[in-house]
C-alpha cells in the first residue's frame, strides 16, 4: 500500500451506470487538512457522506479531475458547505486541441454529453502545478483524451487518474471534448510516470499500471484496425461502423458511435480516411 493510500478514504457515489461502473469514487486525502478529489455528482446523500467522513472544518481543498457532471456536479455545493476552494484545469470547454476547436466551431459533430457547462474552478491548475500541506502534496498532470481539460493528480507513487484509466472498462472518447490522439499521449505520459498505483474515479485501484496502460492502448489500436477493415467494404458513417463492429446492447450504440467518430477524426488527420466537406456526426467516411 502506498503512502497516499494509507491517508485515504474513498466514498463511492450512488450513481451506477454502464459508464460509471459502481459509481463515482470521491477520494478524501489527509486527516486535518483534507483534499477532496472529485466531489462527484450533485447528490445530497453523497455530499452528506463526504462531510460526515471528513468531520467539521477539515476539508481545505476540492480538486476536480474534469468537468463532467458525475465528477464536478457536486463541487459548488460542497464548496459552499465548507468554504474550501475548487481547483481544476479551467472552464468546462478549456484545453481543447486545435483540431477539436475547429470542429466545434463548425458545429456539426455534436458531443457535450454530461458536460458541466457552468463549471469554473476558483483556482486554475496548469500542468505541473503543485498544491501542498503538511500532510500531502498533489501535482497536477494535464492528461487530455477522455476530456480536454482533464487533470490527474500525483501524490508520491500514487496517481488519481480520473477517467483516463479505469480497471473495469475503457473510457469513452467523444469529440470535441475527447480526442484520440491526446488520449494516446496521456496513456504514454502515465506510463512514463512510473506510479505504483493508479486510482480511477470509477472502479478499483489499478496495481499494475504498465500492463493496464498497454492493454488500453492495444484496445484502441485494435479498434482502429477494425474500422479500417470495415471501411474496405465501402463508405460508412460512424454510427453504421459502430453497429457493425461493436457487440453491445442497442442502447449503448450512441456512445460507441462517439468512440468511432474519435477514431475517424484521428484517421482523417493522418490522411487514412476522408469525407466530403467538413467532418460531422453524420459524415460518410471512405478509406484511402
DSSP state of 46: H
Tell me the HSE value of 52 on the side-chain side, using a 13 A CA sphere.
Answer: 7
Contact criterion met (CB below 8 Å) for 36 and 62: yes
CA angle (239 as vertex; 221, 201 as ends), nearest 5:
55
pLDDT at 233: 94
Residue 17: count other Cβ atoms within 10 Å of its Cβ.
Answer: 11
CA dist 75 and 37 (Å) reads 10
pLDDT tens, position by position, for the chain (288 residues)?
665 666 799 999 999 999 999 999 999 999 999 999 999 999 999 999 999 999 999 999 999 999 999 999 999 999 999 999 999 999 999 999 989 999 988 878 999 999 999 999 999 999 999 999 999 999 999 999 999 999 999 999 999 999 999 988 999 999 999 999 999 999 999 999 999 999 999 999 999 999 999 999 999 999 999 999 999 999 999 999 999 999 999 999 999 999 999 999 999 999 999 999 899 999 999 998
CA dist 56 and 105 (Å) reads 45
pTM of the model: 0.96
CA dist 18 and 37 (Å) reads 22
Residue with cell 453491445: 248
The separation between the first and the last C-alpha atoms of the chain, rounded to the nearest angstrom, is 50
pLDDT at 91: 97
pLDDT at 214: 98
Chain center to CA of 283:
26
pLDDT at 167: 83
Handedness of CA 214, 200, 98, 272 (dihedral sign): positive
Rg over alpha carbons for the chain, rounded to the nearest Å, is 19
Q: Tell me the per-residue pLDDT of 86-144, one tens digit each, with 9 for 90 and over.
A: 999 999 999 999 899 999 888 789 999 999 999 999 999 999 999 999 999 999 999 99
Helix (H) or strand (E) holding 8: strand 8-12
CA dist 177 and 268 (Å) reads 17
Q: Helices 209-231 and 253-270, interaxial angle, to 10°?
A: 80
Residue with cell 481544476: 88
Chain center to CA of 215:
17
Chain center to CA of 239:
22
Amino acid at each position: 500500500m502506498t503512502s497516499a493510500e494509507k491517508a485515504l478514504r474513498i466514498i463511492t457515489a450512488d450513481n451506477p451506470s454502464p459508464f460509471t461502473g459502481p459509481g463515482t469514487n470521491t477520494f478524501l486525502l489527509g486527516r486535518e487538512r483534507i483534499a477532496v478529489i472529485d466531489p462527484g455528482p450533485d447528490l445530497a446523500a453523497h455530499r452528506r457522506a463526504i462531510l460526515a467522513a471528513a468531520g467539521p472544518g477539515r476539508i481545505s481543498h476540492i480538486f476536480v479531475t474534469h468537468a463532467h457532471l458525475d465528477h464536478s456536479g457536486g463541487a459548488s455545493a460542497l464548496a459552499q458547505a465548507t468554504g474550501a476552494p475548487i481547483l481544476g484545469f479551467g472552464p468546462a470547454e478549456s484545453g481543447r486541441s486545435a483540431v477539436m476547436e475547429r470542429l466545434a466551431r463548425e458545429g456539426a459533430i455534436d458531443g457535450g454529453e454530461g458536460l458541466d457547462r457552468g463549471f469554473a474552478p476558483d483556482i486554475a491548475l496548469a500542468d505541473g502545478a503543485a498544491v501542498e500541506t503538511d500532510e500531502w502534496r498533489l501535482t497536477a498532470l494535464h492528461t487530455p483524451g477522455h476530456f480536454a481539460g482533464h487533470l490527474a493528480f500525483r501524490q508520491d507513487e500514487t496517481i488519481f487518474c480520473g477517467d483516463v484509466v479505469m480497471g473495469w472498462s475503457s473510457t469513452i472518447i467523444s469529440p470535441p471534448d475527447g480526442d484520440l490522439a491526446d488520449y494516446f499521449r496521456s496513456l504514454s505520459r502515465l506510463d512514463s510516470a512510473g506510479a505504483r498505483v493508479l486510482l480511477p474515479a470509477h472502479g478499483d485501484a489499478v496495481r499494475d499500471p504498465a500492463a493496464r496502460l498497454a492493454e488500453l492502448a492495444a484496445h484502441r489500436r485494435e479498434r482502429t484496425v477494425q474500422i479500417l477493415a470495415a471501411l474496405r467494404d465501402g463508405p460508412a458513417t460512424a454510427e453504421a461502423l459502430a453497429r457493425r463492429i461493436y457487440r453491445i446492447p442497442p442502447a449503448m450504440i450512441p456512445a460507441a458511435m462517439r468512440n468511432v467518430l474519435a477514431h475517424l477524426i484521428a484517421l482523417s488527420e493522418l490522411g487514412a480516411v476522408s469525407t466530403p466537406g467538413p467532418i460531422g456526426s453524420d459524415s460518410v467516411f471512405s478509406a484511402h
